[in-house]
Amino acid sequence: MKRKEFITISFTALLLKACNLNPINNPINKVMKDEFFSYGLDNKASFPWIKLSEDERKKYLSPLKLFKVLRSHKVGNLVKTITKIAIDESQEIIACSSIDGKVSIWHLLSGELISSYSHESYSRSVVIGEQGNVISGGSDKRIKIWNYLSNQLSQTLETPNNVGCLAINLKANYLAAGINYSDKVIIWNLKTLKQIAEISGERFWEFELLEFNDTGERLYARFGLGENRVWEMPSTKLIRAFPDSHYGEWSYSSIDDRQRVLATASDRENEVYLWDTVSGKRIQVIEAAPASDGGPFDPNLLLNHNGSILITAALNGNIRISSTESKEILQEFPGEHESEISSLAISNKYLVSGDHDGNLKLWQFTA
């Protein structure tokens, strides 16, 4: 099974490799952990579970149908690893960013490639706006807003360093960017693209996750060292902070729309940890693959909109759907990718998996 030859190794991993240190027990890790802090947590918070409704249970128990395969092409000898997938059923499009900097936009139902554009170097983030706009960030220190209806670049925003993550909230008209290797999170008005806020004062090495909650009242960030922050919007006041310290050379995370359940995984084990973001406590451990498989596991992961479902993709390509409350495995099936699954996305009707060969598979919920 193909490993991540083309993914940029995180700052932490490079630091540990340079010092020839074990990532679990080493003096550099201790210094980093000493800098971690907790703030604004509620230790008496009730558990954040949302029980599966009967309709949800039926949906996730019914075998998914492979609806369509979207195949990208190699650029020379470079494999177009899919780094991020965004899906919008209302506009009937899928957008994906890739390691070679290219952003591709596909028609959801026909599978037609309707538009594409490129950053000068790799792109790790893409979100879908309104009125035909697709927004992506790259290591070329640019955010590009591309209109797939006119097939033109609408606007470019310059950033201080490479863009690690993008977040969008259409209700509140916010666009946010987490800038890697800097001390900045920048927020713009989505309609005017005027900068309205900036968060600074900390060392933000690599952004693992950046998301607004469903109302746009909070902005959540997770960094590559397992540090979590929650800011109030639009004041950008820090309201919560806690370390989960669940990381390796590669780590993965996902959060529900309410920002109550955080899922994390690393390449070091087969388990996904679930965290209550209000108390900062680990509340569940779910296997992404049987330990008897022997590894390596390297589980990619995704929570559904309300955090009731965890979807994992292990290194062997198997996709597993589990209940976060009960840990029940609702179904497991081969992802049938020739290389490792590198990104997942979900909508009401579809699950999308992307791989290190630049291919997307659309799986349709049948119930």
Distance CA 133, CA 149 (A): 8
Q: In the 3-class helix/strand/coil scheme, how is 196-220 assigned residue by residue? A: EEEECCCCECCEEEEEECCCCCEEE
Question: pTM for the full model?
Answer: 0.89
Distance CA 125, CA 97 (A): 6
Domains and CATH numbers, the chain: 11-15+37-364 (2.130.10.10)
Which pLDDT does position 77 carry in this prediction? 57
The rounded Cα 281 to chain-centroid distance in angstroms is 21
Which residue stretches of the chain have pLDDT < 70? 1-35, 73-79
Which pLDDT does position 78 carry in this prediction? 61
The sign of the CA dihedral 237, 239, 242, 248 is: negative
Residue 24: helix, strand or coil by DSSP? Answer: coil
Which pLDDT does position 224 carry in this prediction? 86
Which pLDDT does position 150 carry in this prediction? 97
Distance CA 273, CA 265 (A): 6
The sign of the CA dihedral 238, 277, 258, 195 is: positive
Distance CA 307, CA 289 (A): 20
In this structure, how many other beta carbons lie within 10 angstroms of the beta carbon of residue 197?
17
Which pLDDT does position 292 carry in this prediction? 80
Distance CA 297, CA 256 (A): 23
Report residue 225: phi and psi, to 5°. Answer: -95, 10
Which pLDDT does position 50 carry in this prediction? 92
Which pLDDT does position 212 carry in this prediction? 98
Cα of first residue to Cα of last residue in the chain, in angstroms, is 32
